[in-house]
Structure 1
């Protein structure tokens, strides 16, 4: 394998054969690092890629050692193609609540690439298959494409081809019966019970809040009927504070389905297997008669001396996206409900205080001032004195004196 250094203005400028490449993409990271001789290293802003593959991206920073002990190499870091897409947001049109696409897959991809302003770098593969999808608000470009692909039984694939990175949506490949487990080193985890009772809380306050319960049975089927009780019941809260009952019905069921799993598997593949993010692989343990099937969520590629090795993370994906669709408690962001006078535009809260609200604040301030005065007044109790001592109070101040008397009286009182 050789790596190509490309400049957006000059085109391909050189090829490198002696390098160390490490990149990861999928559920997170979406980043690359490249170490090579300083004399041939790419500059910040240039692209690096292995032609005909998914492996490449843009160089954002470089670092090197100076002095007598310097190695003479430079470490370049940047974003993979996936990371470039993740740095964009798929926002709805002005006046629209959500962004939706429908039609031929190739046309939908081309429109989304153009919307993100990346038409000079990416292209869409021709595909007449019909797709349709409504994106979460403010979703990043890469997460949005993956979600659209998954909803239509597909995956996101990229290849450097014809001077651009071609994005396509090929069908997901199920390797469950195509890959020998001898090609995989794996750690298998079997799950007996997962979350099976989801309390979905929507709009409203206290007893007026919209609440819906969803349950999953032992086979993972989701409904409103509970079948697991006692120690077998595991519940969680889905806090979606700006959802009405209809939205809770839709999203709550979807969320509980995501919890249903029979296990997980950590996989490291040998050189003989190369699969894509979104594909399905399985790990089989013949000694214990167990098999776990999972979706590839992240791919890690390392190239050293021209030889590539692959490893994978599979199972539930993790994400940095922020979405208005809410999240289960303890699993990411929170859905926000604006109160009176509060609006949320993009990522900014704005507060408008009207005359009624201001008057209420003033009334509370007056009440607090009066309470403070009463407290001060009452901090000294009644004052009494016996002749010939006199005492008088003025607010919190007490004055003590001695009544008129003869010198003989004074001498007798204080003797």
Structure 2
């Protein structure tokens, strides 16, 4: 059982300075993608500086210091920054010169290497292993973030983004190792419930939108209109309505300057976020395994009968007094009666 994570500090050259002690740490992966280190005034020695690295070895928890906040009320100093995943979310993929969209093709890790090397010189290193998965050709959204672009590529073939920090030696700087990993479904074997004595909240939302009326370019009767409908199995189709009458829940999506192709694509994205969903948050303080973003696990509440078997979409890692607690958030879209 792992009940203690050691977080280390490195300088701007990623040379290890030692273990962080007497600090509380809160790291989000999957949503805000940032971290906060809390240090009492009495424990502050000025050793953490802007541009320094805070990390836990061989996992995703870490990032670069970019903000300091001091509170005389609580007598605490807060050190903040983006995580490695957060840094990928702060870079933009641009179309090639003269092209409308960026198009990628090739083996997954080769694609990741090309995209990341454009943005970062040596902090990120992409795995040299081949996944054996080849993308023939994929068009990315215009000016999407590096994180969103990579996620779209990997999602399309059932892969997820693996991120971990590799500590440097006395002579070599540390680095962030990135690679494409096949998504695993652990939902048959990993279930969080009352049986595990974990704290959790479970949500099953049946009030989601199932009919999205997308309004695009044009005026009045000449305006482009696309009707998107959620099907019983959770899929989305155009012009084929499944839920009618009292079961229909409709909403307008106004995208006034969009041509038909763009309106359809963005409408699908909008409806996926608004349709029926399930969510389960579990706080785990006895960490035997640290499940990654993208893999699926299960949650069950025996009292309400809510069951959720979905991918992990967010994690919060909290370290207090050397003890770790990880909160998993799993969730996703579902059919009307799932």
Same fold (TM > 0.5):
yes
Alpha-carbon distance, 1:310 to partner: 0.4
SS in 1 for 2:110: helix
Give structure 2 stretches of 5+ with no counterpart. Answer: 169-173, 334-338
SS at match of 2:51: coil
Say which SS state the counterpart of residue 126 (structure 1) adopts: coil
2:274 paired with 1:263: no
What is residue 245 of structure 1 aligned with on the other side?
Answer: 260
Determine the C-alpha separation between the residues in 2 that align with 1:202 and 1:288.
42
User: Following superposition of structure 1 onto structure 2, how do residues 206-355 of structure 1 map, counting pairs within 5 Å?
Assistant: 206-223=220-237, 224-249=239-264, 251-253=266-268, 255-272=270-287, 273-315=289-331
1:144 offset after TM fit, Å?
A: 2.5
The alignment's TM-score, normalised by the length of structure 1, stands at 0.67
Contact 2:108–2:154, Cα closer than 8 Å, also in 1:
no
Please name the residue that 2:140 is paired with.
135
SS at match of 2:181: coil
Report the equivalent of 1:38.
Answer: 44
Question: SS of the counterpart of 1:143?
Answer: helix
| Change in CA separation of 1:39 and 1:141 when aligned onto 2, cut-off 3 Å | same
- Residue 147 and residue 185 in structure 1: after superposition, are their counterparts in 2 closer, same or farther (change >3 A)? farther
Q: CA RMSD in A?
A: 2.8
**Following the alignment from structure 1 to structure 2, what is the Cα–Cα distance between the partners of residues 189 and 210?**
36
Quick one: distance in 2 between partners of 1:211 and 1:16? 57
How far does residue 248 in structure 1 lie from its aligned partner after superposition? 4.0
**Relative CO higher for 1 or 2, CA cutoff 8 Å, sep ≥ 6?**
2
Length, aligned pairs only: 313
> Within the alignment, does 1:173 sit opposite 2:184 as a pair?
yes
Question: Distance in 1 between the 2:199 and 2:184 partners?
Answer: 20
Distance 2:320 2:306 in 1: 35
State the Cα distance separating 1:121 from its structure 2 match.
Answer: 0.6
**Shift of residue 49, structure 1, vs aligned partner:** 1.0
Unaligned runs of 5+ in 1: 318-415
Displacement of 1:26 in angstroms is 0.9
Alpha carbons of structure 1 residues 50 and 217: separation in structure 2 relative to 1, 3 Å = closer
**Is this contact kept in 1: 2:33–2:83, CA < 8 A?**
no
> Aligned partners of 1:251, 1:84: CA distance in 2, in Å?
25
Which one has the bigger helix percentage? 1
Deviations 1:5-43, CA, capped at 9 Å, x for gaps: 212337222333432221112122433335373226321
Equivalent pair of 1:16/1:40 in contact (CA under 8 Å): no
Give the corresponding residue for 1:321. Answer: none
Shift of 1:259: 4.1
Aligned mates of 1:70, 1:253 — CA distance in 2: 46
The answer as to 2:89 corresponding to 1:83 is no
Counterpart of 2:156 in structure 1 is 151
CA distance in 2, matches of 1:96, 1:140: 17
Contact 2:26 2:319 in 1 (8 A): yes
Contact 1:277-1:299 within 8 A present in 2 as well: yes
Shift of 1:165: 0.3
- How far residue 4 of structure 1 moved from its aligned partner, in angstroms, is 2.1
Question: Is the CA contact (8 Å cut-off) linking 1:193 and 1:232 kept in structure 2?
Answer: no
- Please tell me whether the aligned partners of residues 2 and 15 of structure 1 are also in contact (alpha carbons under 8 angstroms): yes
What are the equivalent positions in structure 2 for 1:372-387 lying under 5 Å apart? none
2:110 counterpart of 1:96: no
Between Structure 1 and Structure 2, whose CA radius of gyration is higher? 1
